[in-house]
Structure 1
Amino acid sequence: MQAKLLFQCDNLKLPIHYNNIVQGFIYKNISDDSFREFLHEKGFEYEKRTFKLFTFSDLMGRYDFNKQDKTITFKNEVSLVIGSIVDDFTNDFINSCLKSNDLRLKGQKIKLKGVEIDNDNIENESIVVKTLSPVVTYSTVNIEGSKKTIYYSPNDTLFSKQIKRNLIKKAEAIGYNDYKDRFNIYPLDEKKMRKRITKYKGLIINGWNGLLKIEGDKTLIKIALSCGIGAKNSQGFGCITVL
């Protein structure tokens, strides 16, 4: 399930690298204490990996960008898309935001004005998607005793392979076993893909925005739309929507 939440704000000022702020806002507004602790501290396990199984978009709305102090200020409204294959998570977050009289993002008051729900009913095995936050794929290698992160661009063959492998692990983590081992993703137009560098708690992360073509199993596509593609979804990466 995906949900688009529209918030009313009054010159909401944030640092341009705000992923950890939005992530904290999401965790804070999960009313079920035990579920919030489970997601934050543990997550869904598969082999040696854990998955939070949710993602969120960049903030969207009319804004001013201050290059000097590296801030972004949203004027009157700001939207956020949040998605998860676990419907209870999405419903809890929405209800919490609806009931709260004191929603705050980095200490600034906001108010939920409306919600649009998309249940990701997939009818085709071929779709075009638009990224709502950068897609990140990478490997960690050991070079001369030190670890190095290698990020992949959409024209690397490992870009699609990493995303497919990640989706299969997510499917297994939540007990989905009815999927077929068929998935491919590639840019609709390589020249229009845009690299995006984001800082998350001091770590520099390379991702890509643009239009992507997805072909494959409907279950894997549903997981991709619900909880994101690639890595670091719960940090605000890999959120996509059907074009």
Structure 2
Amino acid sequence: MQLKITLSAPEPIQLPFEHNHILQAVIYKWIDHIGFRGYLHDHGFLFKKRHFKLFVFSRLMGKVSLREDKKGIIFYPPLRMVIASPVERIINELAAGIMKRPEIYMNGQNAIVETVETVSTVVSDRSIIVRAISPITVYSRLELSGRPYTYYYSPFESRFEVLVRNNLFKKYILVFARPPEDPSFHVEPIYVHKEDQKIVRFRGTIIKGWLGTYRLTGDPRLLELALSAGLGSKNSQGFGCVVPTRMSERNKTGGPLS
């Protein structure tokens, strides 16, 4: 399930370039049950030695401009964001919290939730086209000359699809308590350019990811999970949120489904 949220504010909202953690904090505060909020924040869902939070969120969307001092971004209301999760309780807790506490504070500035729309992530076909509304990131820890470093893959490298698939399988096992019966899953970049690569700082850590439009092919349950849990890694830090889109055959650009 996805939640499409519209925010209003009395004044434009000014945020630093590094603001994913601010949006993440707002989402955690919206989770209504304090105990569940703490459990999700501190632990999440364990797969072997890795913890998954099983929610994903988009970038803050709307009209934007750079601050005059070029030290941040100005967002002009109304603003939109998408939060998604395959875990029904997370969606219910978020919806309850938003209803009780629609006013939020971002970087010391207040905004209010105007509308919340629930969007089904049910998929009936074996192929869908999606648009990334937060960057998709997958990576490997490597070593060069005895020094460790993180290598982030682009959608044009074969390892990108392998890592996205493996990550999605882990989420599937967590959600359904079994591996997928049909393990076929493919990610094809169909409208992705170098400008779609985004370099984001999250609490000081540099993370590279990719926006763009992609074709997902495979078992419909895997495609549904991609929409509700996100693609790739670091979903709960604001990476890998995708929405269905229609494609123009003429110019290969996509627009979000209404």
Regarding TM over 0.5, the answer is yes
2:111 and 2:6 mapped to 1: Cα distance?
10
- 45-54 vs 129-138, greater mean Cα deviation: 45-54
Give the alignment partner of residue 185 of structure 2, picking from 177, 183, 186.
Answer: 183
Deviation at 1:174, TM superposition (A): 2.3
Asked if 2 retains the 8 angstrom alpha-carbon contact of 1:133 and 1:240, the reply is yes
Q: Which residue of 2 aligns with 1:131?
A: 132
Residues 1:8 and 1:179: Cα distance change in structure 2 (over 3 Å): farther
Asked if 2 retains the 8 angstrom alpha-carbon contact of 1:12 and 1:108, the reply is yes
2:193 and 2:206 mapped to 1: Cα distance?
23
**Can you give the 5+ residue segments of structure 2 that lack an aligned partner in the other structure?**
246-258
Tell me the amino acid that sits aligned with residue 241 of structure 2: C
Q: Which residue of 2 aligns with 1:17?
A: 18
1:232 and 1:102 mapped to 2: Cα distance?
27
1:101 and 1:117 mapped to 2: Cα distance?
16
Matches within 5 A, 1:1-243: 1-9=1-9, 10-66=11-67, 68-100=69-101, 102-177=103-178, 178-191=180-193, 194-243=196-245
**TM-score for both structures, normalised by structure 1:** 0.95
Residues 1:188 and 1:63: Cα distance change in structure 2 (over 3 Å): same
Q: Give secondary structure in 2 for the equivalent of 1:40.
A: helix
- 49-58 vs 72-81, greater mean Cα deviation: 72-81
Tell me the amino acid that sits aligned with residue 26 of structure 1: I
**Can you give the 5+ residue segments of structure 1 that lack an aligned partner in the other structure?**
none
Tell me the amino acid that sits aligned with residue 6 of structure 1: T
Tell me the amino acid that sits aligned with residue 26 of structure 2: F
Deviation at 1:165, TM superposition (A): 0.1
1:127 and 1:32 mapped to 2: Cα distance?
35
RMSD across aligned C-alpha pairs, in angstroms?
Answer: 1.6
Deviation at 1:79, TM superposition (A): 0.8
Tell me the amino acid that sits aligned with residue 187 of structure 1: P
Per-residue CA distance 1:158-195 (angstroms, 9 max, x = gap): 11110000000011122343541110001013447611
Asked if 2 retains the 8 angstrom alpha-carbon contact of 1:55 and 1:235, the reply is yes
Q: Give secondary structure in 2 for the equivalent of 1:211.
A: strand
Deviation at 1:142, TM superposition (A): 3.1
Residues 1:75 and 1:193: Cα distance change in structure 2 (over 3 Å): closer
